[in-house]
Amino acid sequence: MAIKRQVWKEKFGDWYREIIDTAKIIDYRYPIKGCGVWLPYGFKLREHVLSVIRGFLDGAGHNEMLFPTLIPEDLIAKESTHIKSFEEEAYWITHGGKNELSVKLALRPTSETAITPMVKLWVRSHADLPLKIYQIGSIFRYETKATRPLIRVREVTTFKEAHTFHVSHEEARAQVLAANDIYAKIFYELCVPYVVSERPSWDRFAGALSTFAFDTIFPDGRCLQIGTSHDLGQNFSKVFDLTFEDLDGKHDFVWQTSYGISERAIAAVIAIHGDDRGLVIPPKIAPIQVIVVPILYKGFEEQINSECQHVEKTLSQEGVKVEIDDRSKVTPGAKFYEWESKGVPLRIEIGPRDVEQGKITLARRDTGEKIPCKRGSLSLVGKTLTEIEDNLRNRAWKVMENNISTTGDLTEAKRMLNKEGGIVEVPWCGQAACGQQIEGEVDARVLGLPVGVSEAVSGICPCCGKKGDRRIRVARTY
């Protein structure tokens, strides 16, 4: 890595781009801006992250499906705030071959308007509800701003969107909270810290009654939205006439929710755990958890290789994702450097002295610590992987929590955001006008009201001077 951690604040963007390139995650040199190619190593990381996401959604009774990529303009136009929000951001197909199409087709920017009319075909009565489905696929936005790997792209190749359908608003709202719990579990596994905020009224998803968001803080002090969940009320069911018959034979519109996580979750893993030497991947999602590097010396080759194979076989049988790097033309030093930059959590070195002493040496990626391990005590490997995971999670949470402060002084808030970034919590009266004035004065974005924070809060709204019982989070965002 050419870019060092001590200059992250200023150079974070360069470091981030370099590591995605060096570690062979995605290649963005494709001739369309904001469209990249997932390289084999990055693809495996993506698969492991998706497997975590699928596991929790399946476990909570969601069924995976796959909807078409294309949505006719007239469907999107049915929900008026929806078309306003996406009309100028969508890619539009006007021609099939040389024929002009009678209705333009959008590459889906999100799928509410594709899914709701299909669910109308499947739902008759309360017995068909709740219905909980999700899909994983590409969505598209015609970004005119500068693009940024995995964060602001034109083809988001990895978008998990869940959609649920309910008999009552109460049940739908409970589902949004359940979605937040699922997301908390997912980010726990990814070792990514977060705050949950209820987005302010002027920053909700197009068509939603309320929007919750998970945000994390990047090393440059800016916040990244890494997951959202929406109470859609009956907005979509009304325009698509999606009704159900209740227990009493009466008909009502279905209550809906949707919640999404994109490849930004992977961006967060990369940005938050990485260091001067490159990626640091949490063990549960690492394409390779343990890399075995033989340190060959003349006369010991056979013994060392056979010991490497013994270690590889033993760990494989225990379900550890382990590989031996036995390339003969690459020095051990170059191998260390490469696997460190790719973020493999644990390296095992086996040299002549190790063989003589009947031991191996474990090297932790997160701390650099070297741990001698007896030949027969390979269970230490699993234990160390767990320690690495815990350490990554704990240290990331500490860093984030140290970057959240509170002040009622907007000049001070702006100074803090300029200097340290992070999140500042400001007392607020609850009026949109004051919230937007705060955004303007601190030159940042309102993330919204803290969710899941139990302490009672009161303070004076810095805009209108009224006493308020809440505070809002503000931050510079991606």
Which CB atom, from 65 or from 453, has the smaller least distance to a copy of itself?
65
Binding track over 273-292 against a copy of itself, x by CB under 8 A:
--------------------
Subset of residues 124 to 143 that bind a copy of itself, contact rule: CB under 8 A: 133, 138, 140, 142
DSSP 7: G
Report d(CA 236, CA 110) in Å as an integer: 13
Whole-angstrom distance between the N-terminal and C-terminal Cα of the chain?
Answer: 24
Q: Minimal CA–CA distance to 44: which of 58, 29, 26, 28?
A: 26
105 near a copy of itself (CB under 8 A): yes
Which CB atom, from 6 or from 99, has the smaller least distance to a copy of itself?
99
250 near a copy of itself (CB under 8 A): no
39 near a copy of itself (CB under 8 A): yes
Which CB atom, from 307 or from 312, has the smaller least distance to a copy of itself?
312
99 near a copy of itself (CB under 8 A): yes
114 near a copy of itself (CB under 8 A): yes
145 near a copy of itself (CB under 8 A): no
Which CB atom, from 88 or from 455, has the smaller least distance to a copy of itself?
88
Report d(CA 357, CA 379) in Å as an integer: 18
- H-run or E-run covering 358: none
Report d(CA 249, CA 428) in Å as an integer: 45
CB of 56 to a copy of itself, least distance (A): 17
157 near a copy of itself (CB under 8 A): yes
Structure tokens at 438: 């705060």
- The set of long-range contacts for 372-377, using a CB threshold of 8 Å and a minimum separation of 24, is 375/307
Contact 324, 335 (CB under 8 A): no
CB of 27 to a copy of itself, least distance (A): 7
* Count of positions on this chain that bind a copy of itself (CB under 8 A): 50
Give SS3 for 148.
Answer: strand
Q: Phi then psi for 88, rounded to 5 degrees?
A: -90, -5
390 near a copy of itself (CB under 8 A): no
In the block, tokens 């009672």 appear at: 456
Which CB atom, from 31 or from 299, has the smaller least distance to a copy of itself?
31
DSSP bridge partners of 13: none
319 near a copy of itself (CB under 8 A): no
Subset of residues 63 to 82 that bind a copy of itself, contact rule: CB under 8 A: 63-70, 72, 75
Q: Mention every residue, 6+ apart, whose C-beta is less than 8 A from residue 210.
A: 176, 198, 199, 204, 230, 231
Which CB atom, from 63 or from 306, has the smaller least distance to a copy of itself?
63
Which CB atom, from 26 or from 290, has the smaller least distance to a copy of itself?
26
380 near a copy of itself (CB under 8 A): no
Number of residues in the chain: 478
155 near a copy of itself (CB under 8 A): yes
Report d(CA 461, CA 340) in Å as an integer: 48
Report d(CA 324, CA 314) in Å as an integer: 13
Which listed residue (7, 37, 330, 433) binds a copy of itself by CB under 8 A? 37
Which CB atom, from 6 or from 317, has the smaller least distance to a copy of itself?
317
Which CB atom, from 122 or from 202, has the smaller least distance to a copy of itself?
122
Q: Phi then psi for 116, rounded to 5 degrees?
A: -55, -45
Report d(CA 83, CA 77) in Å as an integer: 5
Residues at the contact surface with a copy of itself, assessed by CB under 8 A: 27, 29-32, 35-40, 43, 46, 63-70, 72, 75, 87-99, 105, 107, 114, 117-118, 121-122, 133, 138, 140, 142, 144, 155, 157
